[in-house]
């Protein structure tokens, strides 16, 4: 652990590039807080589904999210995700939420609400690693370090398949199609589309193992120590 780093690391990138696993490990190494903003959009999606609302109905989605209390923790070693006081940490990773989350996260009123919450959580921490799609571009435009993580689509599908224990070519093709669908949706929406910030360092993890990526991001974070921004 290093207690030297203070500030914010913004870690963005497409689905399945390793943001969550890398961000959590970087936060632990830096002794920093950790914020998974994707978990917040997923929890908001739980609220939408439980309200019986069509995820494509932007007005009803905004009302359902406004009526719900979405809470996430910022400790790197535990996962706390709640909607109205109910633990949804497992449910947010399920296929029902994954199918609907891109539509919910494209609603501007939902984004405004969650971005306000994200900035408040970040302001409460001396050092924090925040992962998502728009952290370097919208949420924290003055972040101390911005990293945009990429990986070849085939590598991402293989990693996700290994994570889920899926092995058949059909299952892997279905995962690859889901990754493509979410990338397309997330990068083409009007509000805060997925894209690298102009001042982001792009790290391609296709040929790096997870520890290699963590080492690189920690090295970049520590290189900012003592540098005014
Ligand atoms: N460099 C790497 N090499 C091999 N596997 C990796 C690497 N980085 C992450 N992984 C694995 O890839 C899978 C996907 O990683 P992770 O969930 O962290 O991605 P993500 O970008 O947060 O995805 P999403 O945006 O969909 O939540 C996990 O099983 C993780 O352990
Ligand atoms: N800052 C963010 C974080 C996430 N999203 C959206 C886009 C994703 O499809 C979805 C779930 O994120 P994941 O858990 O897969 O990282 O949430 C976003 O729009 N902005």
Looking at 69-198, list the stretches that DSSP marks H as alpha helix, in order from N- to C-terminal side.
95-105, 108-123, 153-164, 169-188
> What's the pLDDT score for residue 146?
98
Centre of ligand 2 to C-alpha 13, Å, is 10
Q: What is the mean pLDDT of residues 182-206?
A: 93
Centre of ligand 1 to C-alpha 171, Å, is 17
Please give the C-alpha separations between residue 178 and each of 117, 125, 160, 186, in angstroms, as whole numbers: 28, 34, 11, 12
| Tens of pLDDT, residues 128-139 | 999 999 999 999
ipTM, 2 dp: 0.97
| Tens of pLDDT, residues 50-83 | 999 999 999 999 999 999 999 999 999 999 999 9
Q: What is the mean pLDDT of residues 181-185?
A: 88
Atom of ligand 2 nearest to the CA of 42: 11
**Residue scoring higher pLDDT (227 or 11):** 11
Q: Please, what is the average pLDDT of the chain?
A: 94
Looking at the chain, list the stretches that DSSP marks H as alpha helix, in order from N- to C-terminal side.
19-30, 37-50, 58-66, 95-105, 108-123, 153-164, 169-188, 210-222
Looking at domain 7-226, its CATH superfamily turns out to be P-loop containing nucleotide triphosphate hydrolases (3.40.50.300)
Residue position matching structure tokens 């509000």: 191
- Phi-psi category of residue 13: left, alpha or beta, with phi > 0 → left and psi -120 to 50 → alpha: left
| Tens of pLDDT, residues 155-179 | 999 998 998 898 899 988 888 888 8
The answer to whether residue 2 scores a pLDDT higher than 90 is no
Measured distance CA(178)–CA(185) in Å, rounded: 11
Mutation choice for ligand 2 from 11, 23, 35, 101, CB with most ligand atoms inside 8 A:
101
Structural domain boundaries in the chain = 7-226
Q: What is the mean pLDDT of residues 18-42?
A: 97
């Amino acid at each position: 652990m290093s207690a030297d780093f203070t500030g914010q690391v913004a870690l963005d990138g497409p689905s399945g590039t390793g943001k969550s696993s890398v961000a959590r490990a970087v936060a632990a190494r830096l002794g920093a807080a950790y914020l998974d903003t994707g978990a917040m959009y997923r929890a908001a999606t739980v609220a939408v589904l439980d309200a019986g609302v069509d995820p494509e109905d932007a007005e009803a989605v905004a009302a359902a999210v406004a009526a719900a209390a979405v809470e996430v923790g910022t400790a790197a070693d535990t996962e706390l995700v709640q909607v109205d006081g109910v633990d949804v940490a497992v449910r947010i990773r399920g296929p029902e939420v994954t199918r609907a989350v891109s539509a919910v996260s494209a609603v501007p009123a939902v984004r405004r609400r969650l971005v306000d919450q994200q900035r408040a959580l970040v302001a409460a921490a001396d050092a924090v690693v925040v992962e998502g799609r728009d952290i370097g571009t919208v949420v924290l435009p003055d972040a101390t370090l911005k990293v945009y993580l990429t990986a070849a689509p085939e590598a991402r599908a293989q990693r996700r398949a290994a994570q889920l224990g899926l092995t058949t070519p059909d299952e892997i093709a279905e995962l690859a199609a889901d990754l493509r669908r979410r990338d397309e949706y997330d990068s083409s929406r009007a509000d805060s589309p997925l894209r690298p910030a102009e001042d982001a360092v792009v790290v391609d993890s296709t040929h790096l193992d997870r520890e290699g990526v963590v080492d690189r991001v920690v090295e970049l974070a520590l290189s900012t120590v003592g540098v005014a921004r």
